[in-house]
Amino acid sequence: MLTYIIRRLLQGIVVILLVTIFTFGLMHLAPGDPIDVMVGEARVTDEQIERIRAQWGLDRPVHEQYIVWLGNALQGDFGQSVVRRGVDVSDMVLEATWVTVQLNVLAMVLSIGVALPVGMIAAIRRYSSFDYFSMMGATLGVALPNFWVGLMLIFLFAGMLGILPSSGLRGPEYYILPVIVLALEQTALLARMMRSSTIDVMTQDFVSVARAKGLAEMPVIFRHIARNALLPVVTIIGYRLSFILSGTIVVETVFSVPGLGQMFVTSVQRLDYQVMQAIVLLFAVAVVLGNLLTDLTYAYIDPRIRIQ
Amino acid sequence: MADPRDLEKILTSMPMSRRTLMKRAAILGASAPVIGSLLAACETDDDDDDVVDDVADDDEPAVDPDDDEVDDDDEPVDEPDDDEEPVDDDVDDEDRYGGEIVILGHHEVESLSPDDRGPTVHWAMITNIHDSLVTINWRYEIEHELAHDYEAAEDGLQYTFHLEEGVLFHDGEEFTAEDCVYNFEFHMDPDNATVLGGDYTAIESVEAPDDYTFVVNMAEPDASFMRRAAKNEIVAAHHHEEIGEDNYKSDPIGTGPFMVEEYRPAEFTRLAAFEDHWRGRPYADYLTEEIIPEGSVRTLQMQTGEAHSMVWPPVIDDDMELEADPDFDSYIVPTLSMNHFPLNNQHDVLSDVAVRRAMVYATDRDQVIDDVFLGAATKATANLAPTLEPFYNPDVTEYPYDPDEAEAVLEEAGWEMGDNGVRERDGEPCHFICTVITGDEARLPEAEVVQQYLAAVGIDMEIQEAPLATIQEGQRDGTIDASLYNWTYGGTDGEPDGTATLHSEARNNWNNWDNERVDELLELGLREVEEEDRVPIYHEIQEIVADQAPMLFMMYWDWYQHWSVDVQGRPDPDDLLATGSSLLNYIRDFYLVNQD
């Protein structure tokens, strides 16, 4: 098991390294430079532009810039934002990451808490009105784009009713709307998954055997059905975990949340290389770790995988 | 909202121009197809400010001109609002103090240093934290600020500023001429590579003969000095020197009416009244800029009373809704940034002045303004906006919409109609590529409409898309034929100089235009210090631009700035020549009414 984890981690490091090389190259191949963005329509000469560029080390060849960046990054120094000068990228990114992680963890907890019971009940009471309503809700939840839902909730709760704030994250009540919107699609997806996988498991032989040997319905459901039905759902949860940092861009913009997604969009618009690179690195790490975590959880839940 | 009876009533009850009518109709939801196209454009407005931030919008901050003619066109605007406006002039001065003024920005406030004053969202805070020697007001007039008086030498080689006494920085230190020396020398030193450095290149040296006199010696006359270097905000020398420019960006100390209370770049910037401001403390206790990226949420916060104004306008239909709302006064003034098709004047086809002139004749710009931009724009005639008095020249070659004339001009130049509807000369088709900004939903429809107009006279304009950075790089190296965006050709802060984009040697000579006389005039214009001597120079530049049509000049978009009627002490909307952004420097005089 330990060798497995180590092997997976080493693979992950290679992936992350490739991602950084690729994004670095791509960013610098793309036309334009941050200095132009910074200067806008100010009156400048080519010479001044060159000086500003030199000051930021942007005049050196790309591979040289990459090596310098990598060396620094390995020591935990991600440089300074070109746009927000004087601010360490690591500080900026950490602060934003904390915001995004909070939102996502809350949304994840909410959606798991709602989706799993709903999915199971819908499966067990198949074709009941509960089943129809919940699955109709789930279909809607998957189908509605979250920026639209976000705006509608803002108009309703912040505009018309005036009971919830429309933007920012400055107290518990500020979390309500963004967390709901973030959780919506996920809840819908997980509930549908849970329902179909429960139905699959319910028809398996070992369930009949459990019932045949006289087990009460509750132990059958929790010990046999639920545990097995969770397997595919865990995969999805793990998969979603990988995007815990990168999946909130739209919601952050709609709700003016100063998280990682918004910071990423801003950094791309302003061609703020250092910030972009740090965030991409973080996204890559999250995906690699998320996948690893999924596999490990799988092994925990399903002994067959552990043995292999 | 779109009750047809209301519509009829409004459309018939008052005299108004066609443009006004269209605006009203739009507000009432009448012209659905038009509104549909606008809805598409909305997204862009938001994208725009980001994509184009770098282009047009960044220069908006300080001051943009507008013109009186435009007011005639755009009259509709304020009538309803004015009637509703509560008259609070008799509010006791005492009652004016207190409260928090909230304005809304659309992107992160990355810096509070004057060197980053470009984006309006930054400038809104920077101008309230700092003062400058002089400032440009909403009529493009130079106003005294830290300098209560100044003299310019006749030869334009020396400026002497007499400074206010007893002015304090936020940390209690006194402001003196040495602070000015430090500020100017900081920007003059090329090693500091400041963004504003270009404003200071003509200065030879600066000195402080005493604490309240500041002298600037010029290496050569630079008529734009007063509207460029002299109006830049002054930082506290002792503080800036100690912590450096990089740290200053988040920890500024100026002499302005407000001081930083809390700075959270991506969330909000909260300023508190500076009790010891040399003009007396501002009325409001706090001035806060909240960052709300989504335009419709900004509009909602205005409507629910959470915010008093927006630094950045939302989508145009939200603008029109707020304009019609009696709870807001709307300042609607065209920007200085020209919406135009920059053309590569070295291109095989576009280098022919006949083709360029024919393009202007062939395009019904009034119709484009009405159809694509709901009438919220003013037609361009040459390189300067009509609001930029006295430098604007109304008396230049005009190009009324006249497809027949366009065809005649082309025929005369030897462009014969080919079989496929595209003209040719010596076997070369009258064809070029216009590269618009990727995803630019506001301007893509404009490009398509113009494409039709040009096709009608046999000019084949192909449309492609690319990111702005690619386009401008291509324009610098001559590989892009034409594009479509907004940019200034002179006018920022009332300064008519357009060297940065019109001079053949300029880095941003987007049109690859090389006109010897214009180069000469641009240089001359900066050497003549007296305004009356400068006016004819800039008039002539506009004559040449209009005659040669180096770009396809289209229009100046209206800039909307709404203020809640709960905030009083503002100038009358009709008095503005510059865009409403210019008011952000005067929030110290604004006060809240109906305070709870």
Mutation target for B interface from A52, A56, A80, A85: give the one with most B CBs within 10 A. A85
Terminal-to-terminal C-alpha distance of chain A: 9
Mutation target for B interface from A43, A52, A164, A250: give the one with most B CBs within 10 A. A43
pLDDT band at B2 (very low <50, low <70, confident <90, very high): very low
Residue B345 to residues A94, A184, B548, Cα–Cα distance (Å): 49, 54, 10
Which SS3 state, helix, strand or coil, does residue B434 take?
Answer: strand
| Amino acid, res. B544 | I
Tokens coding B157? 């080689």
Q: How many CA atoms lie within 13 A of B562 on its CB side?
A: 31
pTM above 0.80, yes or no: yes
- The answer to whether B467 contacts A85, with C-beta atoms less than 8 Å apart, is no
- The answer to whether A256 contacts B55, with C-beta atoms less than 8 Å apart, is no
pLDDT band at A298 (very low <50, low <70, confident <90, very high): confident
Alpha-carbon gap: B581 to the closest alpha carbon of chain A (Å): 17
The C-alpha atoms of residue B510 and residue B517 are separated, in whole angstroms, by 18
**Selected residue with higher pLDDT from B168 and A25:** B168
- The answer to whether B58 contacts A263, with C-beta atoms less than 8 Å apart, is no
CA B292-B295-B301 angle, to 5 degrees, is 65
- The answer to whether B304 contacts A38, with C-beta atoms less than 8 Å apart, is no
The C-alpha atoms of residue B76 and residue B78 are separated, in whole angstroms, by 6
- The answer to whether A36 contacts B472, with C-beta atoms less than 8 Å apart, is yes
**Selected residue with higher pLDDT from B403 and A31:** B403
pLDDT per position as a tens digit, B489-519: 999 899 999 999 999 999 899 999 999 999 9
Please determine, for residue B42, whether its predicted confidence score (pLDDT) is greater than 50.
Answer: no
Residue A253 to residues A248, A263, B49, Cα–Cα distance (Å): 9, 10, 14
In this complex, the residue of A48, A86, A154 whose CB is nearest that of residue B297 is A154
B583 close to B419: Cβ distance less than 8 angstroms = no
Residues of chain B in contact with residue A55, where contact means CB-CB under 8 angstroms, are 193
Architecture of the domain spanning B132-247? Alpha-Beta Complex (3.90)
- The answer to whether B191 contacts A51, with C-beta atoms less than 8 Å apart, is yes
Average pLDDT, chain A: 85
What is the arithmetic mean of pLDDT over B183-198? Answer: 92
Alpha-carbon gap: B293 to the closest alpha carbon of chain A (Å): 6
Q: What is the ipTM of this complex?
A: 0.81
pLDDT per position as a tens digit, B547-573: 999 999 999 999 999 999 999 999 999
**Selected residue with higher pLDDT from B223 and B7:** B223
The C-alpha atoms of residue A124 and residue A202 are separated, in whole angstroms, by 8
B271 close to B285: Cβ distance less than 8 angstroms = no
Concatenated DSSP letters for B303-371?
Answer: HTTS-SEESS---HHHHHHHHH-TTEEEEEEEEEEEEEEEB-TTSTTTT-HHHHHHHHHH--HHHHHHH
- The answer to whether A40 contacts B119, with C-beta atoms less than 8 Å apart, is yes
At B90 the pLDDT is 58
B383 close to B541: Cβ distance less than 8 angstroms = yes
pLDDT per position as a tens digit, A251-281: 998 999 989 988 888 888 777 888 888 998 8
pLDDT per position as a tens digit, B197-253: 989 999 999 999 999 999 999 999 999 999 999 999 999 999 999 999 989 999 999
Mutation target for B interface from A84, A89, A146, A153: give the one with most B CBs within 10 A. A84
At B55 the pLDDT is 39
Alpha-carbon gap: A254 to the closest alpha carbon of chain B (Å): 6
- The answer to whether B58 contacts A55, with C-beta atoms less than 8 Å apart, is no
B384 close to B64: Cβ distance less than 8 angstroms = no
- The answer to whether B304 contacts A258, with C-beta atoms less than 8 Å apart, is no
Which SS3 state, helix, strand or coil, does residue B474 take?
Answer: helix
Which among B321, B324, B323, B327 has a CA at the least distance from the CA of B307?
B327
In this complex, the residue of A84, A155, A263 whose CB is nearest that of residue B111 is A84
Total Cβ atoms within 10 A of residue B507: 17
pLDDT per position as a tens digit, A136-165: 999 998 899 888 999 999 999 998 898 998
Least confident of A30-39, A201-210, A239-248, B70-79: B70-79
**Selected residue with higher pLDDT from B544 and A85:** B544
Mutation target for A interface from B116, B250, B289, B294: give the one with most A CBs within 10 A. B294
What is the arithmetic mean of pLDDT over B129-149? Answer: 95
At B89 the pLDDT is 53
B119 close to B61: Cβ distance less than 8 angstroms = yes
At B233 the pLDDT is 97
- The answer to whether B301 contacts A52, with C-beta atoms less than 8 Å apart, is no
The C-alpha atoms of residue B269 and residue B262 are separated, in whole angstroms, by 6
Which among B335, B300, B482, B376 has a CA at the least distance from the CA of B37?
B376
pLDDT band at B144 (very low <50, low <70, confident <90, very high): very high
The C-alpha atoms of residue B15 and residue B10 are separated, in whole angstroms, by 10
**Selected residue with higher pLDDT from A289 and A179:** A179
Mutation target for A interface from B224, B249, B297, B489: give the one with most A CBs within 10 A. B297
At B512 the pLDDT is 95
Residue A171 to residues A14, A132, A269, B263, Cα–Cα distance (Å): 40, 37, 29, 18
In this complex, the residue of A51, A96, A162 whose CB is nearest that of residue B193 is A51
Give the burial string for A34-51 (b: 16+ CB within 10 Å, else e): bbbbbbbbbbbeeebbeb
Domain B28-65+81-130+256-596 shares a fold with domain B132-247: no
Which among B489, B497, B516 has a CA at the least distance from the CA of B505?
B516
In this complex, the residue of B291, B304, B469 whose CB is nearest that of residue A159 is B304
Element (H, E) at B142: strand B142-144
At A307 the pLDDT is 56
What is the arithmetic mean of pLDDT over B573-589? Answer: 93
Lookup result for tokens 């005039």: B521
Residues of chain A in contact with residue B53, where contact means CB-CB under 8 angstroms, are 37, 40, 269
Residues of chain A in contact with residue B193, where contact means CB-CB under 8 angstroms, are 48, 51-52, 54-55
B293 close to B107: Cβ distance less than 8 angstroms = yes
- The answer to whether B296 contacts A96, with C-beta atoms less than 8 Å apart, is no
What is the arithmetic mean of pLDDT over B533-547? Answer: 96
B395: which residues sit within 8 A by CB, 6+ positions away? B539
* Percentage, residues of chain B above pLDDT 70: 84
Phi, psi of B52 (to 5 degrees): -95, -10
Conformational region of residue B175, where left means phi above 0, alpha means psi within -120 to 50, and beta covers everything else = beta
- The answer to whether B470 contacts A31, with C-beta atoms less than 8 Å apart, is yes
A77 close to A89: Cβ distance less than 8 angstroms = no
Alpha-carbon gap: A169 to the closest alpha carbon of chain B (Å): 9
Closest chain A residue to the Cα of B197, Cα to Cα = A44
At A65 the pLDDT is 83
Closest chain A residue to the Cα of B54, Cα to Cα = A40
Q: How many CA atoms lie within 13 A of B548 on its CB side?
A: 20
Least confident of A70-74, A92-96, B266-270, B356-360: A70-74
Alpha helix (H) ranges present in B170-284? 177-188, 237-248
Q: What is the 3-state secondary structure (H, E, C) of A239-288?
A: HHHHCCCCCCHHHHHHCCCCCHHHHHHHHHHCCCHHHHHHHHHHHHHHHH
Average pLDDT, chain B: 86
Total Cβ atoms within 10 A of residue A153: 22
pLDDT per position as a tens digit, B314-339: 888 899 999 999 999 999 999 999 99
- The answer to whether A85 contacts B249, with C-beta atoms less than 8 Å apart, is yes
Domain locations in chain B as residue ranges: 28-65+81-130+256-596, 132-247
At A306 the pLDDT is 62
Total Cβ atoms within 10 A of residue B477: 8
Residues of chain B in contact with residue A85, where contact means CB-CB under 8 angstroms, are 111, 245-246, 249
Residues of chain B in contact with residue A44, where contact means CB-CB under 8 angstroms, are 195, 197-198, 500, 507
Number of A–B residue contacts, CB under 8 Å: 145
The fold of the B28-65+81-130+256-596 domain, in CATH, is: Dipeptide-binding Protein; domain 3 (3.10.105)
